[in-house]
A and B are shown apart, each in its own frame.
Chain A
Amino acid sequence: MANVTARPAPLSRAGAGRFTRQERLAYTMLAPVLGTILVIVTYPFLLAVLQSLQDSAGREFVGPSNYVNALANPLLYEALGATGTYAALVMPTEILLGLGLALLVHRTVRSSSVRALLFVLATIPLVLPPIAVGVIARLIYAPGYGVLNYLLIGAGIVRDEINWLGQPATAMPAVASVDVWQWTPFVYLVLFSGLLTVPREEIEAAQVDGASGWQQFWHIELNYLRPLLLLIVFFRLADVLRVFDHVFVLTGGGPGNTTQLLSLYLYRIEFKYFDSGQAAALAVLVLVGVSIAYSLVTRALPVERR
Chain B
Amino acid sequence: MRPRRSWRAVLAIPVFAVIAILYAFPLYWLLVTSLKSKAELYQTTLTLFPEAPTFQPYVSVLVERGLWVLLRNSVVVCGLSVLVALVLGLLITYPITRLEVSPRVRVGILNWALSLRFLPPIAVVVPYFGVVRTLGLYDQPQALVLIYSLLNLPFTIWMLKGFLSEIPREIEEAAFTDGAGRWTAFRLVLLPLAWPGLFAAAVIVFTFTWSEFLFALILTSTPNAQTFPVGVQGLVTQFEVIWNDMAAAGTIALALPLVLMVLARRYVVAGLTFGVVREK
Residues of A at the B interface (CB closer than 8 Å) are: 20, 22-23, 25-27, 29-30, 33-34, 37, 40-41, 43-45, 47-48, 51, 101, 104-105, 107-109, 119-121, 123-132, 134-140, 142, 145, 147, 150, 181, 186, 189-190, 193-194, 196, 207, 213, 228, 231, 234-235, 238, 241-242, 244-245, 248-249, 252, 262-263, 266-267, 270-271, 276, 279-280, 282-283, 286-287, 290-291, 294, 298, 301-306
Known: A51-B127, A129-B210, A231-B276. A138 touches B115 (CB 8 A): no
Asked if B232 contacts A131 (CB within 8 A), the reply is yes
Q: Is the interface of A mostly helix, strand, loop or mixed?
A: helix
In chain B between 219 and 241, which residues have their CB closer than 8 angstroms to a CB of chain A?
229, 232-233, 236-237, 241
14 further A-B contacts with Cβ under 8 Å, apart from A29-B94, A135-B253, A234-B118, are A23-B101, A26-B96, A104-B8, A125-B23, A128-B211, A129-B213, A129-B257, A131-B211, A186-B269, A196-B280, A241-B120, A266-B122, A290-B123, A304-B275
State A248–B232 Cα separation when bound (angstroms).
12
Cβ-neighbour of A231 out of B111, B120, B214, B273 (below 8 A): B273
Asked if A147 contacts B29 (CB within 8 A), the reply is yes
Contacts of A150 in B (CB 8 A): 46
Asked if B8 contacts A33 (CB within 8 A), the reply is no
User: What is the 8 Å Cβ interface bit string for chain B, positions 268-280, against chain A (1 contact, 0 not)?
Assistant: 1100111111111
Residues of B at the A interface (CB closer than 8 Å) are: 1, 4-5, 8-9, 11-12, 15, 19, 22-23, 26-27, 29-30, 33, 41, 46, 48, 88, 91-92, 94-96, 99-103, 105-107, 109-111, 114-124, 126-131, 146, 150, 153, 182, 207, 210-211, 213-214, 218, 229, 232-233, 236-237, 241, 243, 246-247, 249-251, 253-254, 257-258, 260-262, 265, 268-269, 272-280
Asked if B182 contacts A25 (CB within 8 A), the reply is yes
- 3 closest A-B pairs by beta carbon, nearest first, are A135-B250, A44-B127, A26-B95
Q: Min CB distance, B157 to chain A, in Å? A: 11
Contacts of B29 in A (CB 8 A): 136, 139-140, 147
Chain B residue with minimal CB distance to A29? Answer: B95
Q: Min CB distance, B183 to chain A, in Å? A: 11
Chain A residue with minimal CB distance to B267? Answer: A123
Asked if A186 contacts B272 (CB within 8 A), the reply is yes
Contacts of A44 in B (CB 8 A): 124, 127-128, 130-131
Asked if B229 contacts A140 (CB within 8 A), the reply is no
Number of A-B contacts (CB under 8 A): 266
State A135–B26 Cα separation when bound (angstroms).
10
Q: Min CB distance, B87 to chain A, in Å? A: 9
Asked if A124 contacts B127 (CB within 8 A), the reply is no
Known: A127-B268, A186-B272. A262 touches B243 (CB 8 A): no
Chain B residue with minimal CB distance to A249? Answer: B236
27 residue pairs bridging A and B, Cβ less than 8 Å apart: A30-B109, A37-B150, A40-B146, A40-B150, A120-B262, A126-B268, A126-B269, A127-B207, A128-B211, A128-B254, A128-B257, A129-B253, A131-B253, A135-B30, A136-B27, A137-B26, A138-B241, A181-B26, A193-B278, A213-B4, A244-B121, A263-B121, A263-B122, A276-B130, A282-B123, A286-B120, A294-B118
